[in-house]
């Protein structure tokens, strides 16, 4: 619609203003797909003459139907100046430069280039639609596009919609110089995972932006893909474990081979292996090799075997000079990793943990045996200890040994003990007038002997003996020096000779004999005392209470005195001077005769008070013929047998265990052995003939 309006306006303006012929619309470059229709527009203003089109400078003719060009024609209203060129269907030969010319006015439009696009043909993948490859082997896939495609198509590779890079693009020209074919080569190294994968080759150009695809499927032959597992993966030493070898392969699997630590496992065939685990499985893995026609594959696995510590490297003995550093090391192997500690022999104190023990600036006190110990594992097996000795090289250590005393002008023997590392170069005995290293000199002779092993790490021991024949008086008053030296210094000690006399020896023998005799006599006396005391054990607790024939509890002193004439010698027990204190205890009156006054705590007669007053007496036990005094048995009331008295006071006093007892006594002046006569009764206070004394006294 716009072109006719412009032409009408052009004619009106030209008629009014007298305008010259001119182009209202000129053709432009076009791109046309092969087989489609092309239209090149041309419109003139103020011109009614002849209009024609040229192709690459060749005139197509002035007629509207363009005879001779069956696919070409001119359309539009000539009166209005519209002269459009149409081409249908467009062929490849139509690609040229076209002009619209007003011949009578001498006007020529700008040239318009017609581009004819030829879409590519579907590409071809060599070896498709299924390509057989070997996994792991590099291969090339070729995609080729043939025909007169214009412009030259682009060949692309895709997998799962993702473009693959690295393809090589190559063109093959024809003899005439036109493009005969193009191809793209894709290099790849397939794996077993690529089996069945689909690759797409796409031919794409401006004529066909979407492109045309050709798919190809990969069919792979590959050696076995192996997976190896163990059940259980963690196992204790001595337990069974099962290995399972699984494989996928194309073509199928043809065989299995088992190995442990690189050595074949005899008799093992098939995908399963059952075996007893030990510590070697931790470092010697089990492997399974699977084969097929293409190749073979191998997989291995190591078990987590738990086992107790195993000693792999013992600590080595060391010998260092004093002041230098010392270092021990030992290696224990175990799973889990064992705990290693260092101690000294016979000492529980931990010095270090780990495989190494370092001792800086050692001294003689550091010499000895050191123990590297590993605790047993979880299974309770393994473990143990390894020892190494540290020898500290130092000046000799000399110690005097005991030497027996010697008689004058008799033989003597002096000894010293030497420990040294390195071994002493010499041991020298010296005294006032000389010295001796070895051999004899006058009265002196030196001998050296290996010593029993001493403290660990002190070095070899040596006993040096100095023999003296015919000792002299001066030998007992001087010192003998024992000295040893090595490359690090010297050490020494002084040894003295003791003297032994004959007379002290005789005195000692006599003294021993006297002591033995005395002990024998004492033992014999004690035995006799106890035997005699036992013979009077029944009568010792019987006490005669005067005036108690009729059962009365007490009598006056006159009656007691009169009756004593008839009843024989008895103890007069005048209690007129006894009083009871506020607590009920008996207390003696002070006779002012030089005796101590004490609260009665010794003689226990169990004399309680009767309900009606007076003293309470146990049932009588008459002894002897009728008419004799009455005796009372207090033995049940005493509660114990009086002990055998080994000593008694010479002035005389008695003791009994009852707390309600009373007595007067004097302080003893001396002690002596038992001297009881056969006629002495067990309790003298019950039979002493002292009628004139009004009180119960224990002195005689």
Residues 128-161 pLDDT 10s: 899 988 888 898 999 988 767 778 888 889 988 8
Tell me if 549 is assigned to some domain.
Answer: no
Tell me if 556 is assigned to some domain.
Answer: no
Residue scoring higher pLDDT (4 or 224): 224
Output the pLDDT for position 421. Answer: 85
pLDDT, one tens digit per residue, over 334-363 is 888 889 999 998 888 999 999 999 999 999
Interval 177-185 mean pLDDT: 71
Q: What is the domain count for the chain?
A: 4
Q: Residue 651 above 80 pLDDT?
A: no
Please give the sequence-ordered ranges of beta strands (E in DSSP) within 497-630, or none if there are none. 542-544, 578-580, 586-588, 608-609, 615-616
Question: 129 with 211, same domain?
Answer: yes
Tell me if 446 is assigned to some domain.
Answer: yes
Question: 108 with 133, same domain?
Answer: no
CA distances for 426 relative to 30, 320, 392, 434, 436, angstroms: 123, 21, 19, 16, 10
Q: Using CA atoms, how far apart are residues 473 and 674, in angstroms rounded to an integer? A: 53
Q: Residue 477 above 70 pLDDT?
A: yes
pLDDT, one tens digit per residue, over 422-451 is 888 889 999 987 888 888 888 999 999 888
Residue scoring higher pLDDT (694 or 526): 526
Last residue of a domain, one of 439, 462, 496: 496
* Residues 372 and 317 sit within 8 Å (Cβ to Cβ): no
Question: 379 with 410, same domain?
Answer: no
pLDDT, one tens digit per residue, over 25-48 is 999 999 898 889 999 999 998 888
Tell me if 352 is assigned to some domain.
Answer: yes
Among 177-186, 465-474, 592-601, the range with the most confident prediction by mean pLDDT is 465-474
- Whether omega for the bond prior to residue 390 falls within 30 degrees of 0, making it cis, is no
Q: What is the CATH number of the domain that holds 418?
A: 2.60.40.10
22-31, 381-390, 487-496: least confident range = 381-390
CA nearest neighbour of 616 among 557, 552, 542, 555: 552
Residues whose CB is less than 8 angstroms from the CB of residue 161 and which lie 6 or more positions away in sequence, other chains included:
none
Q: Residue 637 above 90 pLDDT?
A: no
Question: 342 with 407, same domain?
Answer: no
> In this structure, what DSSP letter does residue 376 have?
-
Among 161-175, 355-369, 544-558, 573-587, the range with the most confident prediction by mean pLDDT is 355-369
Interval 162-188 mean pLDDT: 74
- Written as one string, the DSSP assignment of 571-608 is -----TTEEE-TTS-EEEPP-SSSPBP-BS-S-----E
Full residue range of the structural domain in which residue 140 is found? 124-220
Cα–chain-centroid distance for residue 554?
A: 93
61-70, 83-92, 664-673: least confident range = 664-673
CA nearest neighbour of 41 among 95, 118, 104, 114: 114
Residue 617, both tokens: 């007496």
Average pLDDT, the chain: 75
Output the pLDDT for position 554. Answer: 36
Q: Using CA atoms, how far apart are residues 652 and 385, in angstroms rounded to an integer? A: 76
Phi, psi of 519, deg, nearest 5: -60, -40
Q: Using CA atoms, how far apart are residues 419 and 450, in angstroms rounded to an integer? A: 10
Output the pLDDT for position 652. Answer: 38
* Greatest pairwise CA separation for the chain in angstroms: 211
Output the pLDDT for position 536. Answer: 53
pLDDT, one tens digit per residue, over 273-289 is 999 998 888 889 999 99
Question: 410 with 372, same domain?
Answer: no
Q: Using CA atoms, how far apart are residues 604 and 661, in angstroms rounded to an integer? A: 4
């Amino acid at each position: 619609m716009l072109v006719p309006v412009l032409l009408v306006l052009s004619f009106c303006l030209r008629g009014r203003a007298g305008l010259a012929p001119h182009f209202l619309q000129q053709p432009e470059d076009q791109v046309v797909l092969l087989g489609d229709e092309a239209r090149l527009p041309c419109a003139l203003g103020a011109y009614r003459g002849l209009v024609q089109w040229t192709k690459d400078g060749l005139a197509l003719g002035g007629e509207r139907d363009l005879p001779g060009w069956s696919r070409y024609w001119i359309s539009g209203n000539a009166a209005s100046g519209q002269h459009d060129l149409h081409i249908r269907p467009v062929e490849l030969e139509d690609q040229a430069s076209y002009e619209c010319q007003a011949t009578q006015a001498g006007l020529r439009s700008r040239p318009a280039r017609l581009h004819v696009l030829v879409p590519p043909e579907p590409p071809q993948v060599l070896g498709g639609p299924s390509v057989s490859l070997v996994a792991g082997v590099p291969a090339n896939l070729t995609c080729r596009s043939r025909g007169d495609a214009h412009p030259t198509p682009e060949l692309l590779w895709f997998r799962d919609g993702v473009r693959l890079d690295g393809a090589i693009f190559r063109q093959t020209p024809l003899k005439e110089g036109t493009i005969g074919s193009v191809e793209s080569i894709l290099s790849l190294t397939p794996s077993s995972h690529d089996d069945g994968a689909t690759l797409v080759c796409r031919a794409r150009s401006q004529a066909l932006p979407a492109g045309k695809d050709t798919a190809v499927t990969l069919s792979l032959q590959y050696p076995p893909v192996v997976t190896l597992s163990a059940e259980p993966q963690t196992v204790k030493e001595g337990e069974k474990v099962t290995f399972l070898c699984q494989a996928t392969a194309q073509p199928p699997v043809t065989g299995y081979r088992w190995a442990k630590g690189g050595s074949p496992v005899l008799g093992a065939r098939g995908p399963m292996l059952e075996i007893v685990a030990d510590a070697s499985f931790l470092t010697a893995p089990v492997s399974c090799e699977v084969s097929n026609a293409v190749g073979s594959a191998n997989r291995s696995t190591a078990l987590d075997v738990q086992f107790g510590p195993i000693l792999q490297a013992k600590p080595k003995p060391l010998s260092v000079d004093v002041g230098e550093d010392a270092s021990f090391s030992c290696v224990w192997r175990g799973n889990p990793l064992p705990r290693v500690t260092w101690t000294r022999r016979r000492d529980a104190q931990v010095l270090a943990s780990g495989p190494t023990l370092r001792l800086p600036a050692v001294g003689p006190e550091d010499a000895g045996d050191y123990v590297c110990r590993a605790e047993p594992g979880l299974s309770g097996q393994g473990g143990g200890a390894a020892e190494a000795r540290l020898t500290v090289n130092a000046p000799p250590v000399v110690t005097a040994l005991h030497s027996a005393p010697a008689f004058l002008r008799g033989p003597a023997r002096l000894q010293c003990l030497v420990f040294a590392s390195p071994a002493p170069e010499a041991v020298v005995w010296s005294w006032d007038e000389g010295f001796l290293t070895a051999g004899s000199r006058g009265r002196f002779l030196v001998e050296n002997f290996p010593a029993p092993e001493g403290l660990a790490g002190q070095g070899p021991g040596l006993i040096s003996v100095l023999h003296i024949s015919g000792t002299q008086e001066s030998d007992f008053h001087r010192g003998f020096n024992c000295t040893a030296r090595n490359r690090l210094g010297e050490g020494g000690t002084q040894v003295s000779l003791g003297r032994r006399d004959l007379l002290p020896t005789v005195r000692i023998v006599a003294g021993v004999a006297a002591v033995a005799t005395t002990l024998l006599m004492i033992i014999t006396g004690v035995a006799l005392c106890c035997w005699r005391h036992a013979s009077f054990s029944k009568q010792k607790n019987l006490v005669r209470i005067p005036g108690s024939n009729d059962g009365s509890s007490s009598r006056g002193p006159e009656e007691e005195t009169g009756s004593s004439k008839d009843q024989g010698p008895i103890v007069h027990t005048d209690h007129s001077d006894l009083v009871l204190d506020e607590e009920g205890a008996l207390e003696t009156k002070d006779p002012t005769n030089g005796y101590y006054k004490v609260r009665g705590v010794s003689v226990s007669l169990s004399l309680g008070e009767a309900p009606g007053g007076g003293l309470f007496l146990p049932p009588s036990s008459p002894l002897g013929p009728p008419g004799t005094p009455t005796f009372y048995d207090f033995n049940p009331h005493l509660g114990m047998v009086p002990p055998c008295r080994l000593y008694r006071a010479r002035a005389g006093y008695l003791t009994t265990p009852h707390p309600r007892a009373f007595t007067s006594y004097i302080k003893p002046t001396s002690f002596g052995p038992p001297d009881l006569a056969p006629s002495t009764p067990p309790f003298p206070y019950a039979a002493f003939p002292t009628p004139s004394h009004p009180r119960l006294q224990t002195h005689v």
